[in-house]
């Protein structure tokens, strides 16, 4: 069994985000980054399949030099090798460009399973998985909370609205995108981190993948990001903790709940 896990590196959850001077993205200069949370569940799921039997887990990330650190983390958690795709032409690409690039990575590898996050925590597009499946010509299911592999197929539970789960069965090879919470994600052990240093990490450019800049020319352009226009918003109460507490208690009394 050969599994590809796609990892995106995104700003750390607690990072304070500011709009960059060109107005179309955030200022990345001093930010801390981490593996997109949704993707950590995909990686954990792949590692569990590996633990339960025989599987090779390959992780891939597209991004600037900094993403190497996330790939090393993934290797430390137990992935077998990593592919880092880095190219200036990918900086302004869109989800389809990312999917085309990932498809080129997967082309000659014959993966049985491709696992990735439902959505990235920065862009929140939820597009790359289904796009990649289409480019690879394989079946997919988005937003899964459970998977059970059997010979040649996988049964998954997709999270639907109102607490229902859609159970579908897919033939291998296929692609699954993971919802958060589907497993308990492991940490890289010290031993794992030591071993990771010896694991292969290949760096590839677009040309290495047989692609050119025009292949990843974006169809989607983020023209501008900005703080949302504020509505009326909440009435903000101020004061010391005990003053605030007293005001809240009067409100709760006024609502007849105390």
Partner 1 sequence: MAKILIVGEVHNGELLEATLELVTLARNVGGELSSLVIGSGVAAVAEELSKKGGGKVLLADDAFLENYTVDAYTQVICKAIDAESPDLVLIPNTSSGWDVAGKLAAKLDTGIATDVIRIEEDGGDLVFIRRMFNAKFDARLRLAGSPRIATVQPGACEAFEGTEAGSVEALDVSGLESRTKFVELRQAPAGGHDLTKAEFVISGGRGLQKPENFEQLLKPLVEALGAQMGASRPVVDAGWLPHDYQVGTSGQIVSPKLYIAIGISGAIQHLVGMKNSNYIIAINKDADAPIFEVADLGVVADLFEIVPALTEAAVAAKS
Ligand X SMILES: Cc1cc2nc3c(=O)[nH]c(=O)nc-3n(C[C@H](O)[C@H](O)[C@H](O)COP(=O)(O)OP(=O)(O)OC[C@H]3O[C@@H](n4cnc5c(N)ncnc54)[C@H](O)[C@@H]3O)c2cc1C
Binding site for ligand AMP (CB under 6 A): 6-8, 36, 38-39, 60-63, 95, 98, 116-117, 119-120, 123, 125-129
Instruction: Assess 190 for contact with partner 1 (CB under 8 A).
Output: no
Strands 81-85 and 113-117: unpaired
To ligand X, the closest distance from the beta carbon of 13 in angstroms equals 5
Question: Could you give the 3-state DSSP secondary structure of residue 215?
Answer: helix
Query: How is 43-56 classified by DSSP, letter by letter?
Result: HHHHHHHHHHS--E
| Token pair recorded at residue 149 | 């592999």
To partner 1, the closest distance from the beta carbon of 80 in angstroms equals 27
Which residues within the stretch 29-88 sit at the binding site for partner 1 (CB under 8 A)?
A: none
To ligand AMP, the closest distance from the beta carbon of 239 in angstroms equals 41
Residues that bind ligand X (CB under 6 A): 13, 119
CA dihedral 82, 209, 29, 14 (to 10 degrees): -50
| Token pair recorded at residue 47 | 């590692």
Give the residue, chosen from 51, 181, 194, 203, that forms a contact with partner 1 under the rule CB under 8 A: 181
Each residue 139-178 as x (binds partner 1 by CB under 8 A) or -, in order, gives: xxxxx-----------x-xxxxx-xxxxxxxxx--x----
To partner 1, the closest distance from the beta carbon of 77 in angstroms equals 17
Query: What is the H or E stretch that residue 29 is in?
Result: none
Q: Which does 252 bind (CB under 5 to 8 A by kind): partner 1, ligand AMP, ligand X, none?
A: partner 1
| Token pair recorded at residue 250 | 């009067």
CA distance 202 to 97: 20
């Amino acid at each position: 069994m050969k599994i590809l896990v796609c990892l995106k590196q995104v700003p750390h959850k607690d990072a304070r985000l500011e709009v960059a001077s060109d107005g179309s993205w955030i200022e990345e200069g001093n930010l801390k980054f981490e593996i997109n949370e949704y993707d950590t569940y995909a990686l954990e799921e792949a590692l569990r399949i590996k633990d339960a039997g025989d599987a090779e887990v390959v992780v891939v990330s597209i991004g600037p030099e900094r993403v190497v650190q996330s790939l090393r983390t993934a290797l430390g958690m137990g992935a077998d090798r990593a592919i880092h795709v880095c190219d200036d032409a990918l900086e302004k690409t869109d989800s389809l460009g990312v999917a085309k690039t990932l498809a080129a990575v997967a082309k000659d590898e014959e993966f049985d399973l491709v696992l990735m996050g439902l959505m990235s925590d920065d862009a929140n597009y939820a597009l790359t998985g289904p796009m990649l499946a289409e480019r690879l010509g394989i079946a997919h299911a988005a937003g899964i909370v459970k998977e059970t592999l059997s010979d040649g197929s996988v049964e998954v539970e997709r999270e639907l609205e109102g607490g229902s789960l859609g159970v579908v069965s897919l033939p291998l090879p296929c692609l699954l995108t993971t919802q958060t919470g589907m497993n308990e994600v492991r940490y890289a052990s010290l031993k794992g981190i030591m071993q990771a240093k010896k694991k292969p990490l290949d760096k590839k450019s677009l040309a290495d993948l047989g692609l050119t800049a025009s292949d990843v020319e974006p169809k989607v352009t983020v023209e501008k990001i900005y703080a949302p226009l504020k509505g009326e918003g909440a009435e903000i109460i101020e004061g010391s903790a005990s003053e605030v507490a007293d005001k809240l208690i009067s409100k709760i009394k006024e609502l007849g709940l105390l």
